[in-house]
Structure 1
Amino acid sequence: MTSARGNRLVRLDHAVLRSTRRALGSTPAVPAARAMSHFGEHALGWIAIGGLGWLSGRRRDEWAAGVTGVVAAHAAGVVVKRVVRRVRPALHDVPALVSTPSRLSFPSAHSTSTAAAAVGFAPMLGAPVMATVTGAMLVSRVLLGVHYPTDVVTGAALGATVATVVRRRLLPRPVPTAGRKA
């Protein structure tokens, strides 16, 4: 990436951080974002939902694959975060509204695990629900001032990719029956 392109991306990240805070910073979105932050910490909320789904006794293989995808995606995000070592936003006019376990920002682990949950749990919970929750989680990380927009978009892409690979590896494909095209 050229320096000029990198500078434009940084300016865009800062502009979106500021505009998100201006638009939503004094609304009920802030306490909702804080609740989502606690839910998504270390992917524990998603692991709990997957565990409850598995305990229901229905579609256990799919719930297990979904949880495995969430854990694998979260781990991948943590590895990338430790390699890249991008520091969280520190804009004086967009202070962080929630504490974080580290100073590292890229990619957003919350976005990574939430997108993985969307891929893994959508067959059981519905794609529209999971897409909505994923979008809300991504916006919440920017609203809270703890991630740049590029952190959340990259995290979501990483999470969805890892979860898709895990799902394909763990769940057998249906065998076509006679008379039906594959």
Structure 2
Amino acid sequence: MSALDAVAAADLSLLRTVQNGVRFPGAVEVATGLSHAGEHAAAWIGIGAAGFALDRRRRREWAVATTAVVAAHGASVVLKRIARRHRPLDHHVQVRVGTPSRWSMPSSHATSTTAAAIAFAPLLPVPTWPLVPAMMASRLVLGVHYPTDVTAGALLGAATTVAVRGMAERWA
């Protein structure tokens, strides 16, 4: 077995374990709600737009933060088409939600959610970090991503946010 085959087997095994371990009432419904909120980064872009419109004193910060979310989501869509990894297809994995494409790497939901959690953290009065593991787990519960997909997405979201902030600082 090659190293890639071993990683793929571990990825599938962990996905099955997560799906088999979901036993608390409402878990699938919560995961589905997160999925809808994160679709095309819509909820995060909406929060950014609301912050931009309502918080005049920090309008520039909201613009930079929302740009990071949009850039991260866009990067994930492009990278999905490059990676061309198919979503989980295994008779032990239950797919519980529809998806806009058949590509899974990186998870766009994990990418945009991580970008939003980092970018909006200094602007919101509540902790944003819990969104990241919740969204990552939801994608596994719903059977539409492997663990490496959501991990790659989270890393991409963080890196994109750092890059956008750096560019904004240089241009300020």
| TM-score (structure 2 length as normaliser) | 0.93
Q: Counterparts of 2:116 and 2:18 in 1: how far apart (Å)?
A: 24
For 2:26, the equivalent position in structure 1 comes to: 28
Shift of 1:47: 0.2
From 138, 144, 147, give the equivalent of 1:146.
Answer: 144
Q: After the TM superposition, which residues 1-182 of structure 1 pair with which residues of structure 2 at under 5 Å, given as runs?
A: 4-24=2-22, 27-56=25-54, 57-125=56-124, 129-171=127-169
User: 1:111·1:152 contact (CA, 8 Å) conserved in 2?
Assistant: yes
Unmatched 5+ residue regions in structure 2?
Answer: none
Structure 1 residues 25, 92: CA separation in 2 closer, same or farther (over 3 Å shift)?
Answer: farther
The Cα offsets for residues 65-93 of structure 1, whole Å up to 9 and x where unpaired, read as 11100110111111110011100001112
Q: Deviations over 1:113-163 (max 9, x none)?
A: 01111121011126x722101110001001100000000000110111011
Query: 2:47 is aligned with what amino acid?
Result: I
Separation (CA, whole Å) in 2 of partners of 1:147 and 1:98: 11
- What's the RMSD between the two structures over aligned residues? 1.8
State the one-letter code of the partner of 1:123. Answer: P
* 2: CA distance, partners of 1:104 / 1:24: 24
Using the alignment, how far apart are the partners of 1:26 and 1:54 within structure 2?
Answer: 38
- Conservation of the 8 A alpha-carbon contact between 2:139 and 2:150: yes
What percentage of residue pairs aligned between the two structures are identical? 46
Which is further off, 52-61 or 148-157?
Answer: 52-61
Residues 1:25 and 1:104: Cα distance change in structure 2 (over 3 Å): farther
Query: What is the letter of the counterpart of residue 69 of structure 1?
Result: A
Q: Give the SS at the match of 2:129.
A: helix
User: Following the alignment from structure 1 to structure 2, what is the Cα–Cα distance between the partners of residues 107 and 85?
Assistant: 10
Q: CA deviation at 1:171?
A: 3.7
Task: Report if the CA contact (8 A) 1:85-1:104 is conserved.
Answer: yes
Q: What is the rounded CA distance, in whole Å, between the counterparts of 2:46 and 2:33 in structure 1? A: 15
Displacement of 1:172: 6.3
Query: 2:118–2:129: 8 Å Cα contact kept in structure 1?
Result: no
- TM score, norm. by length of structure 1: 0.88
Query: In the alignment, residue 159 of structure 1 is paired with which amino acid?
Result: G
Distance 2:3 2:81 in 1: 24
Aligned residues: 171
Between structure 1 and structure 2, the one with the greater Rg is 1
TM-superposed CA distance for 1:14, in Å, is 0.9
Residue in 2 aligned with 1:178? none
Runs (5+) with no aligned partner, structure 1: 175-182
Q: Which amino acid aligns with 2:82?
A: V
